[in-house]
Amino acid sequence: MAEETDVVDEVIDDQVADDQVTDQKPADEDQPGADDKKADGDDTKADGSERKETKTLLSDDEGDGSDEGVPEKYEFTPPEGIDLSEDAQTRLEAFGDTAREMNLSQEQYQSLIEYDIERGQKALVEAANGFVERVEGWAGETKADKELGGDALNANLGTIKAAQEKFGSPALAELVGAPSVDNPNGLGLGNHPEFLRLMLRVGKALGEDTFHEGDGHKASDGDSLKRMYPSMFKEAS
């Protein structure tokens, strides 16, 4: 009878062990939301500790690797020889807001403004040189013009000069002159063939014999013409 009881107990123990194995599931599947954690890339290790993260120096979160941050207020120091106008100062202050949005450091801000000034100066020099070449090109066209140039050039310039002095104003004289530091309003019209053609025809219509310079010399005097139209006499000077 005792032996039968031992056999029954063994059968019961084996059945309990089988049921436990059958009912056991992976830990992740028993826990609610386990699939969501996997999908979201849970940083928790199996032993419950958290995974550490690291970032490279070139990542966006680390900026440019510089310890210098965005200043409360940007200060621009003009390079030697550069004087900023009041308008330029105002525009720099307005740019400060944009620089702050760009997370520029003080050093980056200074370098960017210096670059922009240098670029602007270079553009102005190139534009000025280009206009000087254009004005000199007008002189060449006038000298080669059948009505204005050739052997009659000096006489024609004399007639034009006399008409300009009689009917023109100082402001017109500035426009006629070549652009320079002393004559910033100059457009070099004194070399343009069409302007000279108009003035020549006006002078001839009024009678060129009536035009004389104030000092008593004739309008065709060579020295006077050279002073008025220096570009026309470059080869001779």
pLDDT for 77: 87
Q: Is residue 25 part of a domain?
A: no
Cα distances (angstroms) measured from residue 23 to each of 13, 18, 28, 202: 16, 9, 14, 116
Query: Are 152 and 224 within one domain?
Result: yes
Mean confidence (pLDDT) of the chain: 74
Rg over alpha carbons for the chain, rounded to the nearest Å, is 45
pLDDT of residue 39: 47
Token readout for 200 is 């020549």
pLDDT of residue 230: 64
> If residue 56 lies in a helix (H) or strand (E), which one and from where to where?
none
Q: Are residues 156 and 218 in the same domain?
A: yes
Weakly modelled stretches of the chain, pLDDT under 70: 1-68, 208-237
The answer to the question of residue 13 being in a domain is: no
Plot region of 130 (φ>0 → left; ψ -120 to 50 → alpha; else → beta) = alpha
Biggest CA–CA distance in the chain, Å, is 161
Boundary (domain end) residue, out of 100, 129, 158: 129
- d(CA 148, CA 4) in angstroms, rounded, equals 141
Residues 220 and 178 in one domain: yes
Q: In the chain, what percentage of residues exceed pLDDT 70?
A: 59
Residue 71: domain span: 65-129
Domain tally, the chain: 2
173 within a domain of the structure (yes/no) = yes
Rounded to 5°, angle at Cα 16 from 11 and 19: 125
Within a domain: residue 8? Answer: no
The pLDDT assigned to 7 comes to: 45
Q: Give the C-alpha separation, 161 to 153, whole Å.
A: 12
